[in-house]
Amino acid sequence: MSYSLNQKTLLTTLFTLTSLTITTSAAQALRLKVEVENLGPDGGVAVTPVWVGFHDGSFDSYDGGLPAERGLEQIAEDGNPMLISQDFQDNLTYVQGGVSGIFPSDQVGTRVDGMIGNSAIIPGTSAMSMFEITPDDSNRWFSYVSMVLPSSDYYIANGNPVEWDLMPLFSEAVSSLSFNVGLSGTITDAGTEINDFNTSAGNLLYPGLGSGQTEPGQGEAENGVNENVGDPYANFLNQPPNFATDFANLDFNNETLYPDGIARITITRVSVPESSTTVGLIAMGGVFLLGASLPKEFGLKPGFLRRKVFGARFKSLSQK
């Protein structure tokens, strides 16, 4: 095939522009791997796929002593991150000026969020996802929320929006950040659902606990506030006989059983993305993992959306 001079000029120009686009996006985005490992003992508590968000410090998921807002309630009761993700992407926050509610935030730049894992992360297992973030103030602070299983509305989360600073990763002072979550005394009851094994979630992971809830949102309203959990299952209704002995390893506040908390989160700086196409794929990955993470009662088989939309390539990028 031959080209006229003008065609050659046009092709050269297009190539140069494409290269510029790729170079620009490569310089702006930072790829991070976020891994969650369940550190609990055999028969210990599991966590639902972990919702994570990167923001400018303006997203506060909860305050102890205040009521839980809608997205936190949904993930704390059903492990479903759809609402918290939507509110996060809409630049909202759940606490402002010492009051809980649905408030617009003053987020500067674009928030990034997504999920780690697509099913319960049980003791001895881990899950990871890749994220493309902007390494400046807009994505400087890391937040996480995940339901503790089995429970009616227990969760782990950072209530302080500026607890986890990624600036040391951005500046390359360190290549990874690692911290333990769900340490004794820090697990929270959302105060939205009465603690009851007849309507709790995650029971099927623990034979002998009964079937628990059969659809999302099942359980009596508690009308309470976010509060740290004391004796984990002491106030659960419909406790099976021999609960204390048969399910002893569920006591997440026992520091002998959980010396390092329930889980460890590790955020690692991976590499500069190869092209703007890769950036787009991974940015969407978080969204589709939301679909893939939905429990069976939502009518979606795990991985359905992921396979349908991205095929094997997306799987290799986002999951292990």
- Tokens matching residue 160: 């302080």
- Give the 3-state secondary structure of residue 259: coil
- Residues binding Ca ion: number (CB under 5 A): 15
Distance CA 113, CA 88 (A): 8
Q: Are strands 92-96 and 154-157 parallel, antiparallel or unpaired?
A: unpaired
Stretch that binds Ca ion, among 107-115, 168-176, 188-196, 259-267 (CB under 5 A): 188-196
Burial 164-179 (b: 16+ CB within 10 A, else e): bebeebbeeeeeebeb
Asked if 151 interacts with Ca ion (CB under 5 A), we say: no
Among 139, 186, 192, 278, interactor with Ca ion by CB under 5 A: 192
Asked if 319 interacts with Ca ion (CB under 5 A), we say: no
Asked if 60 interacts with Ca ion (CB under 5 A), we say: yes
Handedness of CA 281, 286, 287, 289 (dihedral sign): positive
* Cα-to-chain-centroid distance, residue 131: 12
Q: Are strands 50-55 and 141-149 parallel, antiparallel or unpaired?
A: antiparallel
Among 213, 226, 318, 319, interactor with Ca ion by CB under 5 A: 213
Asked if 219 interacts with Ca ion (CB under 5 A), we say: yes
Specify the residue, 219 or 261, whose C-beta has the smaller distance to Ca ion: 219
Q: Which of residues 89-108 bind Ca ion (CB under 5 A)?
A: 95
Distance CA 115, CA 292 (A): 10
Length of the chain: 320
Instruction: Map tokens 């939507």 to a residue.
Output: 86
- Give min distance, CB of 12 to Ca ion, in A: 54
Cα 94 to Cα 100, 126, 193: the distances in Å are: 6, 29, 19
Asked if 114 interacts with Ca ion (CB under 5 A), we say: no
Asked if 297 interacts with Ca ion (CB under 5 A), we say: no
Stretch that binds Ca ion, among 15-23, 156-164, 241-249, 289-297 (CB under 5 A): 156-164
- Give min distance, CB of 164 to Ca ion, in A: 13
Specify the residue, 159 or 303, whose C-beta has the smaller distance to Ca ion: 159
Asked if 278 interacts with Ca ion (CB under 5 A), we say: no
* 65: Cβ contacts below 8 Å, ≥ 6 apart: 225, 226, 227
Among 184, 186, 199, 318, interactor with Ca ion by CB under 5 A: 199
Stretch that binds Ca ion, among 6-14, 54-62, 97-105, 290-298 (CB under 5 A): 54-62
Please calculate the CA angle 202-184-203 and round it to the nearest 5 degrees: 10
- Give the 3-state secondary structure of residue 10: helix
Asked if 195 interacts with Ca ion (CB under 5 A), we say: yes
* 312: Cβ contacts below 8 Å, ≥ 6 apart: none
- Give min distance, CB of 86 to Ca ion, in A: 17
Instruction: Map tokens 């674009």 to a residue.
Output: 110
- Give min distance, CB of 235 to Ca ion, in A: 8
Among 189, 233, 267, 288, interactor with Ca ion by CB under 5 A: 189
> Cβ of 34: how many Cβ atoms within 10 Å?
22
Specify the residue, 26 or 66, whose C-beta has the smaller distance to Ca ion: 66
- Give min distance, CB of 64 to Ca ion, in A: 8
Stretch that binds Ca ion, among 39-47, 131-139, 157-165, 235-243 (CB under 5 A): 157-165
Chain residues binding Ca ion by CB under 5 A are 60, 63, 95, 152-153, 159, 189, 192-193, 195, 199, 213, 218-219, 222
